[in-house]
Amino acid sequence: MKKNTWFIFIFLLYGVSCKNKEVLVPNNTPKNYDDVSTVKVENYINRLYIDLLGREPLDNEVIRDLAVLRGGDLNYGVRKSLIRRLMTDSIYVPGDSSYKRAYYQRIYDLSKARLLEGAGEEEFYQQIGNAQFAVLSARLNGDSVGVFSAMVTINRCQNVLKSRRLYQLGLIGISDMYAAMLDNPIYDIINMNTLNFVNASFDDLFFRFPTRDEFAIAYPIIESGKGGSLFGAFADNKPSYCKMLCNSREFHEGMIKWCYLTLVGREPTTQETYNLIFDFYTNKSLQTVQETILASDEYAHF
């Protein structure tokens, strides 16, 4: 018998003689949630509604969701199903229009609070009104530059105001919403002059200030339109600078950090960021990041 034939024979004989063995993993017993009190479950439901929709649940919503969670033994899967429903259900709900609309309004409001000190819609409409008057005045004076400048201001404000609905419809991503919230007259007023703008954009998105080298590249992009590269992308004006920052991997890491800080009151561990960053950076789904945190025992206090 040839050498290769012997090898195949021995390999097959070994495979037949081997039996499947169960591998026991120590300390891997599924958690039993039978002892979780009704008050704890109701508190969990209450927190979900506040964090996702910006309001407390109605009594009938608590009763319904409590039954669903108990029916699924409070496991991770049934928690995720409830979270997804609050994020995506488009059926009419009195006061909210729908859970989905209320959820995206909540994201919009929280993002404005983070970047724009909670500026109201009326502040943007006031900027638009002033710019529209400037357009009329500039046209009467034959000032084409003035017309263009005022129209840019109107568009920058409208980009913020339209971002909630466009994000809800899936026509833009969370990166686009945040880019709009950096590139508008209200953010300019809050962070006057280029130095403050660059420092604030890094701090608001990345929870840190730019390094000396990053600042040396970013400053002339805003101040004089000089082209420069950061985070593997190129920008040569304020709009492209804002998009460059908001499409970076570090922006997505900052969003993960923001979610942990707002939902559980702490920064994520390196492992937690690692577990989420690849999918988030690739698929751009902030909802998956939130869902992971909101379905955890730490958030639920189970």
Residues 6 or more apart in contact with residue 129 via CB below 8 angstroms: none
Rounded distance between C-alpha atoms, residue 38 and residue 50, angstroms:
18
Confidence of residue 95 (pLDDT cuts 50, 70, 90): confident
- Confidence at residue 13, expressed as pLDDT on a 0 to 100 scale: 44
Backbone dihedral region for residue 91 (phi beyond 0: left; psi -120 to 50: alpha; all else: beta): beta
Residue 26 clears pLDDT 60, i.e. is over it: no
Backbone dihedral region for residue 95 (phi beyond 0: left; psi -120 to 50: alpha; all else: beta): left
Residue 19 clears pLDDT 60, i.e. is over it: no
pTM of the model: 0.88
Residue 12 clears pLDDT 60, i.e. is over it: no
Domain boundary assignment for the chain: 38-101, 119-172+179-190, 250-300
Q: What are 40-87's pLDDT values in tens digits? A: 999 999 999 999 999 999 999 999 999 999 999 999 999 999 999 999
- Confidence at residue 23, expressed as pLDDT on a 0 to 100 scale: 46
Confidence of residue 2 (pLDDT cuts 50, 70, 90): very low
- Confidence at residue 138, expressed as pLDDT on a 0 to 100 scale: 96
